[in-house]
Amino acid sequence: MLNLPASTDFKTIKRLYKIVFSKSKKEISFFLIIVFLSSFAEMFSVSSIFPFILVISNPKEIQKIPVLNSIILNNNLSDENIIKLVLGLFILSTLIALTLKLITSYFSLNLSAKIGSYLSCEAYHSAINQKYDNHIKSNSSEVIANLTNELTKTVIAINSTFRIFTFSLISLSLVILLMRIDLFSALLAFVVILISYLILVFIVKSKLQQNSIRITNFSKTQLKAVQEGLGGIRDIILDNNQKAFYEIFKKIDKPMRSLFAQNQFIGVFPRYVIETIGLILIAIIAFHLKNKGYSGETELAILGTIALGAQRLLPSIQQIYVSWTELRGNSTSINSVLSLIDKRDFEPLEKKDIEKIKFNEIIEIKNLSFKYQADSELLLKNISFNIKKGERIALVGKTGSGKSTLLDIIMGLLIDNVKGEIKIDGKNLYEKNNKLIYSWRKLISHVPQRIYLSDDSFASNIAFGVSKNDIDIKKVKIAAKKAQIDNFISKTKYGYNTRVGERGLFLSGGQLQRIAIARAFYKEAEILFFDEVTSALDNQTESDLMKSINTLKKDKTIILIAHRLSTIKNFDKIIEIQEGKVKKIIDNKKN
C-alpha cells in the first residue's frame, strides 16, 4: 500500500506549478489580470452602496461625496434624478462585479482542466515510457488509480489554488475598502474572522493530511480489489465466493467514504460559526458608530456598507478556507501523480529517428548473466550460443528455468542487470547509450503465452497499434490464413470487423494464440519469437500452424520456446536450459 510522506502545501504547489507554468504561462498571466480586475470591481460594487443608502435617506447628504456632488451641480439634477443616478451606479457596478466573477470562475475552471489534461498526458506518457522490468515490478492498479482518481483530485486541488488566490485578492480589496470607511470596524471584523479561521486551520490541518494519505491508499486498494474480482470472475462463480469479494470491497469502501465525509464537514462547518460571529460583530459595530456621533443618515450608510462588505467578505474567506481544505485533503494525490511523472525512465526515440538496420549474419550470445534486482541471485548464468540468420532455434526446459526471461533479454526488453554480450552482426546490443536496441526491436515480432486483445475488431487486433485508416486488410487476411484463424474469422457475423470482446472474452485459448501469431505475421518481421504459443492448441491445429511457420521464407529467423518436442523436430538447433544455464545444444544440421 502506498505510504507517501506528508508535505507542506507550499512545497506541493511549488512542485506542481514548476511543471505546468511553462505550458500555461500566457493563460495564468491573463487569469491574474482578470482576478485583479474582479477584486477592484467587487470593491467598487460594495462602495457604491454607501451613496445609495445616503441618498435614499436624505438626498441632500450627497454633498458629502465630492465627485457625485460636482456631477449633480454641473447637471442641475433634481432629488429624484439624483436617486436614479446613484441607483444606476449601484446596479451597474454590481453587474460588472458579477460579470467579472463569472469570467474568473469560468476561466479558472478551464485553466484547471487544461493543466489537468497536460498532467494526465504527462503521467500516462511516463507510465508507458518505463523500462520493461519496471512494468513487471509495478502494480497496475496503482498506476491506473494515479491516471484516474488521483488525477481528478489533482485537478480539484489546482482549481482550489486558483480560488485561494482569487478570493484572497477580493478579501483584501474589501478589507481595504472597509478600513477607509471606518478603521476600527474593519480591523475588528478582519482580525476576529482571521483569528477564528487560523485557529480552525491549526486544529484540522494534520487531520486533513492523514485523511488524504488514507483516502489515496484506500482508493488504490479498492481499484485493485475491483480488478481482481472482475479478472477472476470465473473462479469466483465456480467457488461461490461473490460474498467474500463483496466484503473485501465493502471493508475498503465504507471507511473511505467516511473520510470523504469528514473532509467535507471540516470544509463546511466554519461557515455557520463565522456567520454567527458576523452577526455579533455587526451589532458591536453599530454600537461603535452610534457612540462616534455620526448623523442618522451617515451612520445608516456606513453600517449598510460595512454590512454588505461583511456579507461579501465572509463567503470569500470561507471559500479560501474550503479551497485550502480541498488542497490539503488532496495533497497526497498531487504528490502521487507527480511521482508517477517523475518515474519516467527514458524518452524513446521517435520512429522517424530510428535507424533502419538489416540482420545479415549472426546473433552471438556470450557469457550472458542476468538478475532482476541488483541484490538478488542470478537467474541466468553464463549463457553462450549463436543464432545464424534463417535458423530455427528451439529453447526447451522445465518451467522456471529462465527460457522466457532469456527471450526478453535477446529481444532487448530487459536492460538493467544484464552482464555479458549480445552481438548483432558484431555490434553489441547492450552497449551503454547504444541506439541499436531501438533498431533491433523493429526487426522483431513476439508471440507471447498470454496475448492482450483490445475490445475491437479482429482486423484491429491483428494490426495492433496501427491506425484504422492505415490497416492493410489484404495483409491482415494473409497473416490470418498463415496463423490458421482466417476460416474462423470469416464465419463470424461481421468477419474481420467483428469485435473480439474485452481481452478476447468470446475466444478460446487456441483462437487467442492464433490471433497473436497472426499479429506477428502481419508485422512481417525478420526475427520471430514464439513463447510456448502452441501450448493451447490441439494436435491438428498445432501441426498446421507449424507447417505455416516452416513455409516462411528461409531468411526469417525463428526462436521458439517449445511445449512439446514433436513441435520442433524440424528445427535447426535445440537448446536445453536448466536452472538458468545451457545444459546442452543439439545441432540437427550436424546430425
Structure-model confidence comparison of residues 71 and 102, the more confident one: 102
CB 447 within 8 A of CB 533: yes
DSSP per residue, 449-472: SS----SSBHHHHHTTTS-GGG--
The pLDDT, as a whole number, for residue 469 is 84
Residue 494 C-alpha cell reads as: 461481421
Question: Quick check: 1 pLDDT over 50?
Answer: no
Structure-model confidence comparison of residues 247 and 308, the more confident one: 247
Question: Quick check: 9 pLDDT over 60?
Answer: no
Residue 548 C-alpha cell reads as: 505455416
- Centroid of chain to Cα 96: 38
- Centroid of chain to Cα 408: 28
The pLDDT, as a whole number, for residue 131 is 75
SS3 354: coil
pTM: 0.67
pLDDT digits (tens, 9 = 90+) for 516-555: 888 888 888 888 888 876 665 667 767 766 776 776 667 7
Question: Quick check: 252 pLDDT over 60?
Answer: yes
The pLDDT, as a whole number, for residue 28 is 82
CB 492 within 8 A of CB 458: yes
State the DSSP code for 435.
Answer: T
Strands 362-370 and 444-447, sheet pairing: unpaired
Quick one: average pLDDT of 61-77? Answer: 61
Question: How far apart are alpha carbons 588 and 591 in whole angstroms?
Answer: 5
5: confidence class by pLDDT, cuts 50, 70, 90: very low
- Centroid of chain to Cα 163: 22
Residue 220 C-alpha cell reads as: 488504490
The pLDDT, as a whole number, for residue 393 is 87
Nearest alpha-carbon partner for 515 in 484, 553, 546, 540: 484
SS3 397: coil
Residue 83 C-alpha cell reads as: 436617486
Q: Which of 140-154, 335-349, 423-437 has the highest mean pLDDT?
A: 423-437
Residue 568 C-alpha cell reads as: 520442433
CB 112 within 8 A of CB 162: yes
Instruction: Please report the domains of the chain, with CATH numbers, ordered by start residue.
Output: 21-342 (1.20.1560.10), 351-587 (3.40.50.300)
Entry field: residues in the chain: 591
- Percent of the chain residues past pLDDT 70, beyond the cut: 77
6: confidence class by pLDDT, cuts 50, 70, 90: very low
The pLDDT, as a whole number, for residue 238 is 58
421: confidence class by pLDDT, cuts 50, 70, 90: confident
Quick one: average pLDDT of 155-167? Answer: 83
pLDDT digits (tens, 9 = 90+) for 199-242: 877 777 777 777 777 877 787 777 777 766 766 665 666 567 77
70: confidence class by pLDDT, cuts 50, 70, 90: low
CB 124 within 8 A of CB 147: yes
The pLDDT, as a whole number, for residue 590 is 65
DSSP per residue, 495-551: GGGSB--GGGTTS-HHHHHHHHHHHHHHHT-SEEEEESTTTTS-HHHHHHHHHHHHT
The pLDDT, as a whole number, for residue 96 is 87
Averaged pLDDT score across all residues of the chain? 77
Nearest alpha-carbon partner for 311 in 108, 38, 45: 45
Question: Quick check: 386 pLDDT over 80?
Answer: yes
Residue 152 C-alpha cell reads as: 481528478
412: left (phi over 0), alpha (psi -120 to 50) or beta: left
Structure-model confidence comparison of residues 76 and 191, the more confident one: 191
Question: Quick check: 503 pLDDT over 70?
Answer: no
Residue 151 C-alpha cell reads as: 488525477
Question: How far apart are alpha carbons 33 and 104 in whole angstroms?
Answer: 10
Question: For residue 158, what is the enclosing H or E element?
Answer: helix 149-181
Quick one: average pLDDT of 339-367? Answer: 73
Question: How far apart are alpha carbons 518 and 459 in whole angstroms?
Answer: 10
8: confidence class by pLDDT, cuts 50, 70, 90: very low
Question: How far apart are alpha carbons 312 and 21 in whole angstroms?
Answer: 31
CB 242 within 8 A of CB 236: yes
Hey, what amino acid is at 52?
F
pLDDT digits (tens, 9 = 90+) for 260-307: 788 777 777 777 777 777 777 777 766 666 666 555 566 666 666 777
The pLDDT, as a whole number, for residue 147 is 72
Lowest mean pLDDT among 104-113, 326-335, 490-499: 326-335
CB 252 within 8 A of CB 149: no
Question: How far apart are alpha carbons 294 and 273 in whole angstroms?
Answer: 31
Nearest alpha-carbon partner for 520 in 444, 407, 441, 468: 444
CB 554 within 8 A of CB 574: no
How far apart are the two ends of the chain, measured CA to CA in Å? 56
CB 139 within 8 A of CB 2: no
CB 39 within 8 A of CB 313: no
Cell 545479415 locates to: 360
Question: Based on C-alpha coordinates, what's the Rg of the chain?
Answer: 36
Residue 286 C-alpha cell reads as: 453599530
